[in-house]
Amino acid sequence: MKTISSPADLRKLREEIKAKMQGKESGSKEKVRIRVHSGTSGLASGAKAILDFVTQELEKRNIDATVVRTGDLGYCFAEPTIEVTRPGEEPVVFGNVDKIKADEIIEKYIKNGEFVDGILPVNYQTIK
């Protein structure tokens, strides 16, 4: 348990987490980050199966990546959606992902950075 007991604590913890997320600790390499959008609309379209599949397959295929379960991005018409961020690159969102598509994304985009059909272009700005 890490009780944060002062404002300085909070800021310190934030920096620590950020460093950890970017893989900066102990000189390890930054990992591919995969977000599986698992809000109600994602889960209703099968996001859970995709989350399990991706987690399992990455391990089987020896790819060092972080898989994160998040809320929905709002693309209900194209669920399930997943987002892949390769180190140092902009995140790319793929829509209507089934296991076949997920396999293609792992083999082509995650491994080699080669695009596959079904990319959802970013059509918003955010405050970050």
Distance CA 108, CA 113 (A): 6
Residue among 25, 26, 29, 40 that touches another protein (CB under 8 A): 40
Q: How far is the CB of 27 from another protein (least distance, A)?
A: 20
Q: Which is nearer to another protein, 53 or 73 (CB)?
A: 73
Q: What is the 3-state secondary structure (H, E, C) of 57-89?
A: HHHHCCCCEEEEEECCCCCHHHCCCEEEECCCC
Residue closer to another protein by CB (options 71, 87) is 71
Residue 33's beta-bridge partner residues? Answer: 66, 85
CA 54-55-60 angle, to 5 degrees, is: 95
Report 65-84 residues binding another protein (CB under 8 A).
68-78, 83
Number of residues that bind another protein (CB under 8 A): 51
Q: Closest separation between CB of residue 96 and another protein, Å?
A: 8
Q: Are 84 and 110 in contact (CB under 8 A)?
A: yes
Q: Which residues in this chain contact another protein in the complex, by CB under 8 A? A: 1-7, 9-11, 13-14, 17-18, 21, 35, 37, 39-41, 43, 68-78, 83, 95, 108, 112-121, 123-128
